[in-house]
Homo-oligomer: A and B are copies of this chain.
Amino acid sequence: MKEDKLSETKMEVRKIFTAYLEKKKQRKTPERYAILDEIYTHKKHFDVDTLFIQMKNRNYHVSRATVYNTLDLLLDCNLVKRHQFGQNIAMYEQSFGFRQHDHLICLSCNKVLEFCDPRIQQINSTMGGLLGFNVSHHSLHLYGNPIVDENNICKSCNLEVIHKDE
C-alpha cells in the first residue's frame, strides 16, 4: 500500500526530471536518477552529507560534487526545496506532491515540524502590494521549546518519533 504509493511517486518524479533534463538539453545520467531516487526513498528533510553517506552505504558511489550539481538541477525543476534552518548547513526536502507548508524548529532537539497557516499567504500579498513587490516565495521558521507534561515527556518529540518511522 505505502510501498505502491512510494514507487508511484518515484515514477512520477522521474518523469518530471526526465522532461526537465530534455528541455534543458542536459544528460540523463544514472547518477542523477540515483540521487533523485535516494531522496524520494527517505524521509522528507535531509542534508547533503546525510544523503551522500546513505548512498555510500548502499554501495552506490557518487561524488559530493555530483550530489551538489544534481541538487541544483532538482531545485531548478522544483523537485526539492532548500532551507536554512540553523546557521550553516543547508537542509533539503522533497517537494513533489506536498502542499505549501512552513516549519517549526524545536530548540531543544532541532527536530523540524511542519504546519500550514493560510494567513501567511495573506501576509505575502498584503505586504507585497504595500511594498511594490510580487512575492514569489517566502520562508517562515518558528523556533520554540516543547511544552512538556507533568512526566516531563515532550509531546512533540513523541509525535516526531512516530513521524520518523512512517
Residues on A lying within 8 angstroms of B by beta carbon are 84, 87, 90, 104, 106-107, 113, 115, 117, 119-120, 122-124, 126-128, 130-147, 155-156, 159
Contact = CB atoms under 8 A, between A and B. Distances in A.
A132 B147 contact: yes
A122 B115 CA distance: 14
B147 A143 contact: no
A99 to B, nearest CB: 16
Number of copies: 2
17 contacts: A104-B127, A104-B128, A107-B136, A120-B140, A123-B140, A123-B142, A124-B142, A128-B144, A131-B156, A132-B156, A135-B143, A136-B143, A136-B145, A137-B142, A138-B142, A139-B141, A140-B141
A119 B115 contact: no
B147 A133 contact: yes
Among A123, A132, A159, find the residue whose CB has the most chain B CB atoms closer than 10 A.
A132
A104 B120 contact: no
A124 to B, nearest CB: 6
A137 B138 CA distance: 17
Contacts of A107: 136
A100 to B, nearest CB: 14
